[in-house]
Amino acid sequence: MSDAAAPEPLPILLLNGPNLNTLGTREPAVYGSDTLADVVDLAERTAAELGYGLRAAQTNHEGQMLDWIHESVGEISGIVINPGGWTHTSVALVDALVVPGVPVMEVHISNVHKREAFRHHSYVSSIAAGVIAGYGIRGYEFAIRRLVELVG
Ligand code: DHK
């Protein structure tokens, strides 16, 4: 029997796209009153409970988001992403998300299917392992739990 400790799993990458830095003040009737800091705190606690570290980042700049995804190759177990408005517009984001070759969980705080028609289509869903929408910020927790089921 070896007494070597089990290797640490690679961290989970939590990504938030445009306008999600304004959580807490942005349309609280739609997105609730929790802030992005609350999201990151919840995600860190959930990941830690499951034995995973978390890297979290948010940007309003699509090129920055693509660069972060490319740079994560070989360094992460999986991705949890709320792509914000890029959900409905960005082929480039979808192309980047498959580069690391790890499962991707897509999260939306609001129930996008109950909203405007332009929010009903997601490019990201075509490559996502799962999609969670309409559970408020708890969706991030559920996505991390599912991701760990997939990669654990
Ligand atoms: C967040 C956004 O910023 C919107 O552009 C999406 C999503 C919905 C959410 O519910 O978290 O349409």
Distance CA 132, CA 5 (A): 34
> DSSP per residue over 5-58, as a string?
PPPPPPPEEEEE-TTGGGTTTS-HHHH-S--HHHHHHHHHHHHHHTT--EEEEE
Q: How much is the pLDDT for 5?
A: 76
**From the candidates 31, 52, 123, 140, which is the catalytic residue?**
31
pLDDT in tens, 96-112: 999 999 999 999 999 99
Go through the domains of the chain in sequence order and give each one's CATH number: 12-151 (3.40.50.9100)
Is 2 a residue whose pLDDT tops 70?
Answer: no
Predicted TM-score (pTM) of the model is 0.96
Tell the residue nearest (CA) to atom 1 of ligand 1. Answer: 84
Is residue 105 helix, strand or coil? Answer: strand
Q: How much is the pLDDT for 6?
A: 78
pLDDT in tens, 52-94: 999 999 999 999 999 999 999 999 999 999 999 999 999 999 9
Q: How much is the pLDDT for 101?
A: 98
Q: Indicate the pLDDT class of residue 1, thresholds 50, 70 and 90.
A: low
For residue 85, give the ligand 1 atom closest to its CA: 5
- By the 8 A CB rule, do 106 and 124 touch? yes
- CA distances from residue 136 to 28, 128, 132 in whole angstroms, order as listed: 11, 19, 10
